[in-house]
Amino acid sequence: MKITKVETWQVEMKLKEPYTIAYETIDSAVNIFLRIETSKGITGFGVSAPDLQITGETPLSVLEVFENTIKPALIGSYALRSALIISKLKSHLQSHPSALAMVDMALYDILGKTAGLPVYQLLGGYRDRIMTSVTIGIMPLNETINKAKQFVDQGFKALKIKGGKKFQTDIERVLKVREAVGKKVELRFDANQGYTVEETLKFVEAVHSARIELIEQPTPRAAPDMLGRVTENVNIPVMADESIMNLRDTFKLARRDLMDMVNVKLMKVGGINEALQVNAVAHAANLEVMVGCMDEAALSIAAGLHFALARSNVAYADLDGHLDLINDPSDGAVILKNGVLFPTGAPGLGFDPEL
C-alpha cells in the first residue's frame, strides 16, 4: 500500500475566550491539517499545531518544510512502514516537531484503519477513557472563581490554574478557588516558568491547605537545576513541561532526579511514536506522565488521547486545547462527558475531517 497523494491546508480558529498565561495572551490558533492518500483507498489525517514559543515553528515554516521535505519523502513510500518513514524524516525535522507529529498521526491513522481498530487498541488498550483537567488562564480573582464554578457545574473534576506572574496573587487565587469548589475537585497549578526557586517554595507552603495535586514547570526550562531544587524541597509532585522537548531531555532530567512527573505533548516531541519512547524512559525512572496539549484541533487531541489510553503510567490528562476553538473542522473527534474523554470508537484516530 503506497502513498499516492499528500496535501495540507491551514485553518485559523478563533478562541471563544482569549486566555493569558505567564508569557503571552492567546486569542486564536492556527493548525495545519495533513491528508495522506494511499493506493488501497485508505486515507490518513494528521494535525500540526505550531507554536513559536514552544515548538519554535510557525504555520509558514510547517508549510515550507512540508513542501520541501515531507511531501517528497512520503510520495511512493509504503504507508505501513511508518517506523522507516519517521526515522528518515526525523533527522530533517529536528526543529519542526509539530510537523513531524502530523505525519506520525496520519500514518497511525492509516494503520488503525487498515487493521479496523482504534489506535489505542493497537497500542495496547490499557484503558478506554481518561479524566481531563480544564484550564483557567490568568485573570482577576473574581473571574477566576466564577470560571472555576462554571467548569465544575459542567462536570469537570480537575482544574488547572495558570499563574506565574505574581506568586502572591496566585496564592490568593488558588486558596479562593479551593474554597469555592470544595474538597472533591482536583486542583493543579501551572506557573509556565514564571517563578524563581524561592518563590515556588513560598507558593507551595502558602497553598498547603488547598491540597493542590501537582505544580507544573515553576522555573525556567533553561535552568534545570532550579527545577531540581524545587523537586527536592516540596512535598507535592513537580512536573516538567517546557523542559521536556524530546527523548534526550527526558533522559537527562530523569537521570538526575530533577522532576517527579513528565508532561508529554505530541507537538513538542514529534507525535505518538516519540511520545511512546519518552513514556518508556519516564516509566523506567518510575515517573508518572501527563499527556498535555496546546491549542490543538480535536483530531490532534484524539491522537494524544489514544496515546494516553494505551499506557498505564500515563495517569493524568490535560487535553482541553480544542474546547474553545471556533470552526474546528475536526470537532467531534473526541467525546467529552462530565470531564472524562472517550475516543469515538472508529478505526484509526476515529475521525475524518472534511477538506
Contact 109, 45 (CB under 8 A): yes
Strands 186-190 and 3-20: unpaired
Catalytic residues: 162, 190, 216, 241, 265
Residue with cell 496539549: 293
Which grid cell is 236?
Answer: 507535592
Per residue, the 3-state secondary structure of 298-351, as one string, reads HHHHHHHHHHHHHCCCEEEECCCCCCCECCCCCCCCEEEECCEEEECCCCECCC
Q: Shortest CA distance to 135 belongs to which of 335, 321, 332, 329?
A: 321
Q: How far apart are CA 161 and CA 138, in angstroms?
A: 8
Q: How far apart are CA 335 and CA 267, in angstroms?
A: 21
136: which DSSP letter?
A: E
Q: How far apart are CA 73 and CA 2, in angstroms?
A: 12
